[in-house]
Amino acid sequence: MIRLQNVCFNYDRDRTLTDISFHINKGEFAAIIGANGAGKSTLCRLLNGLLKPSSGSVEINGLDTGHTKSSVLARQIGFLFQNPDRQICRNTVAEEILFGLELLYKDREFIAERLEKVLSMFGFSAEDNPFNLSRGERQRLALASLIAVEPEILILDEPTTGLDYKECIEIMEIVREMNKKGTTVIMVCHDMEVVLDYAERVLVLSGGKLIADGETRSVFCMNDVLEQASLIPPQMASLAGRLGSGFEDVFTVEEMTELILEKSNEKRRVEV
């Protein structure tokens, strides 16, 4: 589905990305993590052809992005930026969603059907002015107009930065739902709790190099990798790490609670 082979990229002189290769299958939910300036956004832009690799190749569904325009790739890839205001350019919610649909589809009935579906899915009222919505709502609108065209791949560059907890969960739940329906999701995120909750796979970037790529939980156990990328693992994972043996596979509050209760019950049973 998405295949990167020995991709290098530089903006001016210095290397921004060095020799990146990976392969993401249909339906995967992957997170790209790393410190600011590690090259995460650059990598995302390479994926939808906004940037072309200096060397190596990026393939989306067999299409080489080097020879395909981003506006053509848009049919397959929905790209959500951190700032929704750069995307929203119409005066009502309905028009904004239609704008994206009309760019990619011609069939009127089909367009109307999609619009209705998305409006009810997100609970928007069609005639609202986007710029009177809150920041989180605008982000949801931007996401809605991407999802309206039902892309096979969703790329999210820090979709939840600057949102409050509730807004963040609202966005992520929609993304999860799309993922369950088969959409491939690639997300840049600074919130390790969110990454742990939603992503199945994690790619760690540090200084433009891919230093780890694997199942989320196993990557969060690689302390040297996290340290090198200046990342702090989810708090429960750190706590479990400090507690040492017996707590290896604990990552969430629920798991920790369960394990502690289990252990204390065991202890009580031994005492009795």
Partner 1 sequence: MRSFFDYIPGNSFLHRLNPLSRIFLSFMISIACFSSKSHLFLLLMILLNLVLAALAGILNRGMELLKNLSKFSVFIFVLQVLFVRRGEVLLEMPFNIIITEDGISTAIIIVLRLIGATMPLALMLSITQMNDLSNILVVKLKIPYKYAFAFTTALRFIPIFASEMSAIIEAQVSRGVQLDTKNIFKKTRLILPLCLPLLITSMKKIEGSAISAEIRGFYLRTGESCYRKYFINWNDVGVLLFAVILFISAVFSNNIKL
Ligand X SMILES: Nc1ncnc2c1ncn2[C@@H]1O[C@H](COP(=O)(O)OP(=O)(O)O)[C@@H](O)[C@H]1O
In the complex, which residues of this chain contact ligand X (CB under 6 A)? Answer: 11-12, 16, 34, 36-42
With respect to partner 1, which residue has the nearer C-beta, 52 or 190? 52
Strands 77-80 and 153-157: parallel
- Residues numbered 25 to 44 that lie near Mg ion (CB under 5 A) are 41
What's 132's DSSP letter?
G
Judged by CB under 8 A, which of 6, 55, 66, 103 binds partner 1?
103
In terms of DSSP H, where are the helices of the chain? 40-47, 70-73, 93-104, 108-122, 135-147, 165-180, 192-198, 216-220, 223-228, 235-243, 253-271
Q: If contact means CB under 5 to 8 A according to the sort of partner, which of Mg ion, partner 1, ligand X, none does residue 63 touch?
A: none
With respect to ligand X, which residue has the nearer C-beta, 39 or 78? 39
Find the farthest-apart pair of alpha carbons in the chain and give their distance in angstroms, rounded: 74
What does the block give as tokens for 124?
Answer: 């928007």
Position 131 contacts partner 1 (CB under 8 A): yes
Cα–Cα dist 11/84, whole Å: 25
Supply the minimum distance, in Å, between the C-beta of residue 75 and ligand X. Answer: 25
Q: If contact means CB under 5 to 8 A according to the sort of partner, which of Mg ion, partner 1, ligand X, none does residue 37 touch?
A: ligand X
Cα–Cα separations (whole angstroms), residue 240 to 96, 205, 243, 256:
46, 24, 5, 8
The residue whose two tokens read 């760019």 is: 103
Supply the minimum distance, in Å, between the C-beta of residue 210 and ligand X. Answer: 12
Q: If contact means CB under 5 to 8 A according to the sort of partner, which of ligand X, Mg ion, partner 1, none does residue 78 touch?
A: partner 1
Position 216 contacts partner 1 (CB under 8 A): no
Q: If contact means CB under 5 to 8 A according to the sort of partner, which of Mg ion, partner 1, ligand X, none does residue 79 touch?
A: partner 1
Supply the minimum distance, in Å, between the C-beta of residue 69 and partner 1. Answer: 5
Supply the minimum distance, in Å, between the C-beta of residue 37 and ligand X. Answer: 4
Candidates 80-88, 116-124, 212-220, 225-233; binding stretch for partner 1 (CB under 8 A): 80-88
What does the block give as tokens for 207?
Answer: 């200084």
Three-state secondary-structure class, residue 84: helix
Position 139 contacts partner 1 (CB under 8 A): no
Give the number of other CB atoms < 10 A from CB of residue 160: 23
Position 81 contacts partner 1 (CB under 8 A): yes
Q: Torsion angle of alpha carbons 17, 21, 24, 25, nearest 10°?
A: 160
**Interacting residues toward partner 1 by CB under 8 A:** 45, 48, 50, 69-71, 74-75, 77-79, 81, 83, 85-91, 100, 103-104, 131, 145-146, 149
